Amino acid sequence: MFKQFTENIKGNEVYLISSLGLFLVFFIVVTILLIRVRRNHVNYMSNLPLNDGAAEMERIGL
Amino acid sequence: MQPEKFYYDNKIVRNFGIATVVWGIIGMTVGLLVAIQLYHPAANMGNQYTTFGRIRPLHTNAVIFAFVGNAIFMGVYYSLQRLLKARMFSDVLSKVHFWGWQLIILAAVLTLPLGITTSHEYAELEWPIDIAITLIWVVFGVNMFGTIIKRRERHLYVAIWFYIATFVTIAVLHIVNSFELPISAFKSYYLYAGVQDALVQWWYGHNAVAFFLTTPYLGMMYYFLPKMANRPIYSYKLSILHFWALIFIYIWAGPHHLLYTSLPGWAQSLGVAFSIMLIAPSWGGMINGLLTLRGAWDKVRDDVVLKFMVVGLTAYGMATFEGPMLSLKQVNAIGHFTDWIVAHVHVGALGWNGFLTFAILYWLIPRIYRTELFSKKLAAFHFWIGTLGILFYAVPMYWAGFTQGLMLKEFTAEGMLKYPNFLETTLRIIPMHVMRSVGGALYLAGVIIMAYNLVRTAAQGKLVANEGAEAMPLASLHVDQHQEKWHRRLERRPVKLMVFSLIVILIGSVIELIPTFTISSNVPTIASVKPYSPLELQGRDIYIREGCVNCHSQTVRPFRSETERYGDYSKAGEFVYDHPFLWGSKRTGPDLAREGGKYGDAWHFNHLMDPRLMSPGSIMPAYDWLITQQLDTTNTIAKINAMRKLGVPYKAGYEKIANRELDAQAQAIALNLLKDKIKVKSDKEIIALIAYLQRMGIDIKASKTANNN
């Protein structure tokens, strides 16, 4: 099924392989950085939409 | 430190909301009309301003840039203020943005039916409007970044990253795909030609889907879904991975629109590989959205807003699975140019963009009017009629796509095309087209019901134009920058975030575009391919004006089923003088790349006057005004000069004799028609169009004959 891709790119493998390599490096770097993010920061960030100032005003009746 | 009191601007959100609904109804009504035209040619209304070729772009532009565009700004202006705990940077800029965008849409509504078009799909608007779009986009950007700068929340939530990526990428796409050389106030030629133009267009076209229909909606999903479900997003880390992976990969996938064309094979392969990889981040986003509702599925049963969100996310998942599958060459060979693509697009547009927009409107309008939704029952009815509408739309279109795609490829036992007449395949799928318009009508009915429900909701409440809020001002930061995590720092620096996003999207763009432009072996020239004659050039511009490209492709793929039907497959060198390329993306009618010499001039004349005279049952509109309208030759000199500037090798001084040559060629065609007892003056538009149609593919046929001799 994938034969035609490998045949088509003969002589131009450099584009495909370097592009995939580039993405792989990028993906791994982002993943590593993400693993190192602290849990309390993640909790803080994910709660941002739920705390928008207006809700606070509503709660205290302003 | 004392908390600061400030006010969110809800009026601008409301205004964008109204524009969303109004343009949505208009855009979908035009969509319904074009759907009916495909089985009932009389619906073209017998005049040039309402033919399928001219108003199909009106439908696409209206739903993409007017309906979805205004919905994006509504969602962004609402969520951005709240996520940053600040009013929009400038009320004046907000107003300029709003009215400027509506004027641009109005300009599209006026110019597209007039036939003023560049012919690039989803970028049809001519150069003065392109400039206006750029200016208004900058206004939006300044307003957004101004708000970010005066924020009271140090960290930028992931939704804002999606907004920033949208802003910067759309700016790059729009500018690069708008490099045009104007020849008059409403006519220009693209700087790129042929294969290069095709690559730029589909790099743009695909990423308009990515960064206009997807990333801003993902940003809105990350904000509104947690608000609607009253719980944080399932995984914030996944949302970050989703963001970076999505913007990195998406930008490469454009060439999957050009599989089996004369685009260099390596670029096609890159497009396919990255399209398949795209499943991962797309589904990451969908799963993150759906899992946010974990433990809250009971709410989905009662809450119509969540129902819309769940179906919208599911449609996103289906469309983003199907997209990569369609980019596999074997699948693409059948699906491309057929209604399958139309079905695919509409699962995304109606399901993902439409349903998310409706959910946000139902959630947001009662809140800014401090009231309850007027009728939950009507909203629930909208949900069901909308869902049914999508099914009635998509299923017949899939059926039509498979049917026609397979019919066009079928051979008899003797090795002949089983359906040599293209029209036979068109007529076979007409029942599916009727059903599709029923689906569209159901969907549109739902939107009208929603509009009524929202108007009644607004009437029973009162707009809180300025909504009070309170937050602490940002204190200066006393942290050791070196100790801080890299990503946490980036979250606080919007400009760096924008630059980093820009770099990420430029990587794919540069690797794909630059070699096609700079390495000449990617576009081998063909000696027999000559520039168009002045009359053919004028005819080509009429072809563009009438939107013929919306139904007829001009690229023969290297399949036996196509070379048997149309002729030799297309090569890159054939298109070197084509500013713009006219390969098309849909074959409602047959390909025209090898049309030249296939029929006589009289056949074309009669066919354009009334297609059903020559092809009984044809669904093509009549173009009888071409017989009476005089060809404008006052711009021939400007056109020749512009083409020469773009690299077409017209000899020096040729523009001075161009109109003389044009007349001579036109008179020869008129004389030829007279032999078949057709009396028409040589200065009519139809003569130019016939000249162009008779030129298509002739150079390649000539080169073959020369080789054979």
- Of B329, B488, B511, nearest to A19 by CB-CB distance is B511
Of B472, B498, B517, which residue sits at a domain end? Answer: B472
Query: Which CATH number characterizes residue B334's domain?
Result: 1.20.210.10
- Of B6, B226, B267, nearest to A50 by CB-CB distance is B226
Contact B82 A54 (CB under 8 A): yes
Query: B467 and B538 in one domain?
Result: no
Query: B542 and B466 in one domain?
Result: no
Contact A9 B266 (CB under 8 A): yes
**B598 domain residue, yes or no:** yes
CA gap B309, B315 in Å, rounded:
10
- DSSP assignment of B387-420: HHHHHHHHHHHHHHHHHHHHHHH-B-TTSSBS--
Q: Which of B240, B314, B252 is nearest to B277 (CA)?
A: B252
For residues A22-43, average pLDDT: 88
For residue B229, give the amino acid letter: A
**B313 domain residue, yes or no:** yes
Query: B408 and B540 in one domain?
Result: no
Number of compact structural domains in chain B: 2
Query: B597 and B459 in one domain?
Result: no
Contact A49 B83 (CB under 8 A): yes
Q: Read off the pLDDT band of B681 (50, 70, 90).
A: very high
Query: B546 and B686 in one domain?
Result: yes
- DSSP assignment of A1-62: --HHHHHHTTT-HHHHHHHHHHHHHHHHHHHHHHHTS-HHHHHHHHTGGG--SHHHHHHTT-
Please report the pLDDT score of residue B222 as a whole number: 97
Contact A50 B485 (CB under 8 A): no
pLDDT tens-digit map of B158-176: 999 999 999 999 999 999 9
Of B472, B494, B520, which residue sits at a domain end? Answer: B472
Query: B570 and B453 in one domain?
Result: no
B8 contacts in chain A (CB < 8 Å): 54
Q: How far is A61 from chain B (nearest CA, A)?
A: 11
Q: Say yes or no to pLDDT of B195 above 90.
A: yes
β-pair partners for B577: none
B222 contacts in chain A (CB < 8 Å): 49
CA gap B348, B326 in Å, rounded:
14
Whether the link from the prior residue into B580 is cis, omega within 30° of 0, is: yes
**B1 domain residue, yes or no:** no
Segments of B167-305 assigned E as strands: 180-184, 187-190
Segments of B164-309 assigned E as strands: 180-184, 187-190
Structure tokens belonging to residue B34: 């074009």
> Position of tokens 């133009």?
B197
CA gap B71, B361 in Å, rounded:
9
Q: How far is A15 from chain B (nearest CA, A)?
A: 7
Whether A12 has its CB under 8 Å from any CB of chain B: the answer is: yes
Please report the pLDDT score of residue A56 as a whole number: 46
Query: B669 and B564 in one domain?
Result: yes
For residues B622-636, average pLDDT: 97
Radius of gyration over every alpha carbon of chain A, rounded to an integer in angstroms = 23
Of B423, B450, B472, which residue sits at a domain end? Answer: B472
Q: Say yes or no to pLDDT of A62 above 50.
A: no
Q: What is the mean pLDDT of chain B?
A: 94
Torsion over CA: B674, B677, B681, B682 (sign): negative
Contact A46 B232 (CB under 8 A): yes
For residue B84, give the amino acid letter: L
pLDDT tens-digit map of B66-94: 999 999 999 999 999 999 999 999 999 99
Segments of B287-432 assigned E as strands: none
**B35 domain residue, yes or no:** no
pLDDT tens-digit map of B343-365: 999 999 999 999 999 999 999 99
Q: Say yes or no to pLDDT of A61 above 50.
A: no
Is residue B332 within 8 Å of B409, Cβ to Cβ? no
**B282 domain residue, yes or no:** no
Contact B223 A1 (CB under 8 A): no
β-pair partners for B4: B471
Query: Which CATH number characterizes residue B662's domain?
Result: 1.10.760.10
Residue B357 φ/ψ, nearest 5 degrees: -60, -45
**B502 domain residue, yes or no:** no
Please report the pLDDT score of residue B295 as a whole number: 84
Is residue A12 within 8 Å of B265, Cβ to Cβ? yes
pLDDT tens-digit map of B518-566: 776 667 788 889 999 999 999 999 999 999 999 999 999 999 999 999 9
Query: B306 and B376 in one domain?
Result: yes
Whether A25 has its CB under 8 Å from any CB of chain B: the answer is: no
Q: Which of B128, B111, B133, B131 is nearest to B188 (CA)?
A: B128
**B159 domain residue, yes or no:** no
Query: B468 and B540 in one domain?
Result: no
Domain that holds residue B640: 534-708
Contact A26 B504 (CB under 8 A): yes
Q: In degrees to the nearest 10, what's the CA dihedral of B308, B310, B315, B317? A: 160
Q: Which of B441, B473, B460 is nearest to B85 (CA)?
A: B473
Contacts of B675 (CB under 8 A, 6+ apart): none
B268 contacts in chain A (CB < 8 Å): 8
Whether A32 has its CB under 8 Å from any CB of chain B: the answer is: no
Please report the pLDDT score of residue A59 as a whole number: 44
Query: B457 and B316 in one domain?
Result: yes
- Of A20, A36, A46, nearest to B485 by CB-CB distance is A36
Whether A26 has its CB under 8 Å from any CB of chain B: the answer is: yes
pLDDT tens-digit map of B24-39: 999 999 999 999 999 9
- Of B157, B470, B515, nearest to A45 by CB-CB distance is B157
Query: B543 and B442 in one domain?
Result: no
β-pair partners for B187: B184
3-class state of residue B48 by DSSP: helix
Q: Which of A5, A36, A45 to mutate to test the interface with B (most CBs of B within 10 A)?
A: A45
CA gap B620, B446 in Å, rounded:
30
Q: How far is B287 from chain A (nearest CA, A)?
A: 16
**Region at B46 (left for phi over 0; alpha for psi -120 to 50; beta for the rest):** left
Query: B426 and B310 in one domain?
Result: yes
Whether A52 has its CB under 8 Å from any CB of chain B: the answer is: yes
Element (H, E) at B604: helix B601-609
Give the chain A residue whose CA is nearest to the CA of B235. Answer: A46
Please report the pLDDT score of residue B120 as a whole number: 96
For residue B213, give the amino acid letter: L
**B78 domain residue, yes or no:** no
Contacts of A15 (CB under 8 A, 6+ apart): A9, B266, B267, B270, B511, B515
- Of A26, A31, A49, nearest to B157 by CB-CB distance is A49
Element (H, E) at B79: helix B69-84
Contacts of B50 (CB under 8 A, 6+ apart): B33, B44, B113
Structure tokens belonging to residue B304: 């119509």
Q: Read off the pLDDT band of A60 (50, 70, 90).
A: very low
Whether A49 has its CB under 8 Å from any CB of chain B: the answer is: yes
Contacts of B79 (CB under 8 A, 6+ apart): A49, B159, B219, B220, B223, B224
pTM: 0.94
Q: Read off the pLDDT band of B579 (50, 70, 90).
A: very high
Q: Read off the pLDDT band of B456 (50, 70, 90).
A: very high
